[in-house]
Amino acid sequence: MPFVITDACIDVKDKACVAACPVDCIYEGGRTLYIQPEECIDCGLCETVCPVDAIRADDELPPELSQWLAVNVEFFGPEVTGWGRPGGADKRYTTDKDHPVVAAWPARDPAA
Ligand code: SF4
Ligand code: SF4
């Protein structure tokens, strides 16, 4: 039951969750962050610090957010980074790439 990052993080990326994660399983892409689902230990700390409520447990995703589990999983697969299970986020595992769903997401209105 990994936690997943959803669309509310796109173009926010304040990284409060990165600082909170005890196993460094939250990785930085171009417009958002992604949780490596096999490395996540389900502690829930990241969810408590996210200022925009972007993080959810995968089994608590409402239908409108259901695609975000696959987005987080596929970011680490051959479709995007090919990183697999890197064993901890660091500079080598930071990229400006994004999952196609994130890359196509409309830009956030700065006035909103
Ligand atoms: S639930 Fe815990 S282990 Fe998983 S991403 Fe969040 S802080 Fe990291
Ligand atoms: S704390 Fe929330 S908004 Fe900040 S980087 Fe993490 S998921 Fe994105």
**CATH code, domain with 29:** 3.30.70.20
Hey, which of 15, 18, 25, 36 would you mutate to test ligand 1's pocket, going by the most ligand atoms within 8 Å of its Cβ?
Answer: 25
Q: Give the list of residues 6+ apart from residue 62 with CB closer than 8 angstroms, or none.
A: none
Question: 5-19 pLDDT, tens per residue?
Answer: 999 999 999 999 999
72 three-state secondary structure:
helix
In a domain, 112, yes or no: no
Query: Given the CA of residue 24, which atom of ligand 1 is nearest to it?
Result: 8
Where residue 48 falls (left for φ over 0; alpha for ψ -120 to 50; beta otherwise) is: alpha
In a domain, 97, yes or no: no
Nearest Cα residue to 102 out of 54, 61, 39? 54
Query: Given the CA of residue 16, which atom of ligand 2 is nearest to it?
Result: 1
Q: Is any ligand 1 atom within 6 A of the Cβ of residue 41? A: yes
In a domain, 15, yes or no: yes
In a domain, 106, yes or no: no
pTM: 0.96
Total domains in the chain come to 1
Task: Give residue 21's domain range.
Answer: 3-88
Q: Pick the ligand that lies closest to the CA of residue 36.
A: 1
In a domain, 94, yes or no: no
User: How sure is the predictor about 20, in pLDDT bands with cuts at 50, 70 and 90?
Assistant: very high
Question: 41-94 pLDDT, tens per residue?
Answer: 999 999 999 999 999 999 999 999 999 999 999 999 999 999 999 999 999 999
